[in-house]
Amino acid sequence: MKRVLLRITAATVAVRVVVFVAAVAALWAAVPSALASPRILMPVLILALMPALFPNSGVVTGVMLTVVCGWMFGTLGLGETVSVVGTFVTAAARYLLHSFATLAAALPYDAIVDTAVLLRWAARAGLVLAGSAAMAAIVVTLAQSLPPTTSTVAILSGFGVVAGTVWLLARKA
């Protein structure tokens, strides 16, 4: 462990700090407001530290699933109002957690990384988030203009659009 700490580079620390901050943001945004208190901050910080320390493990997936389950519990279980901003913050933090944990997993702890690599990675993540924000704004604007109904056809159509988008993005990658 001492050998690792002596050889670790600033770039790998910076990437892992981004992973930690993104995990904290995602977990805290997903905590239902009924449960949000200073007492839950310590478990959130400890849980957020795990993907930063072990980015090449199932811990990252576990934290991301915890975020989704927390958000769903708050909205579906406790009946909290879904806000566009809160939902986007949760999703954006989850994406940043996933993206930078992937980079952290690929970098050895003693890697010497050019700053341009980190900037390109951050720019790519920023473009994805900007595109997601634009798409969310369009969807919310369109949804507000439609009459409120719960239609199986609408739900299945929405799932189809999401599946098609994921398929298209997977083909481009």
Sole residue written with tokens 């600033």: 10
- What is the sign, positive or negative, of the torsion defined by CA atoms of 54, 55, 56, 58? positive
Domain span at residue 106 reads: 2-172
pTM: 0.79
Q: Which long-range contacts (CB under 8 A, 24 or more apart) does 140-145 make?
A: 140/84
- 153: which 2 tokens? 């056809």
Q: Helices 59-72 & 38-53, crossing angle to 10 degrees?
A: 150
pLDDT tens column, 117-153: 999 999 999 999 998 888 877 877 776 677 766 666 7
How many residues make up the chain in this entry?
Answer: 173
pLDDT tens column, 70-86: 988 888 888 888 777 88
The structural domain count of the chain equals: 1
CA distances (Å), origin 32, targets 46, 68, 83, 114: 18, 11, 13, 40
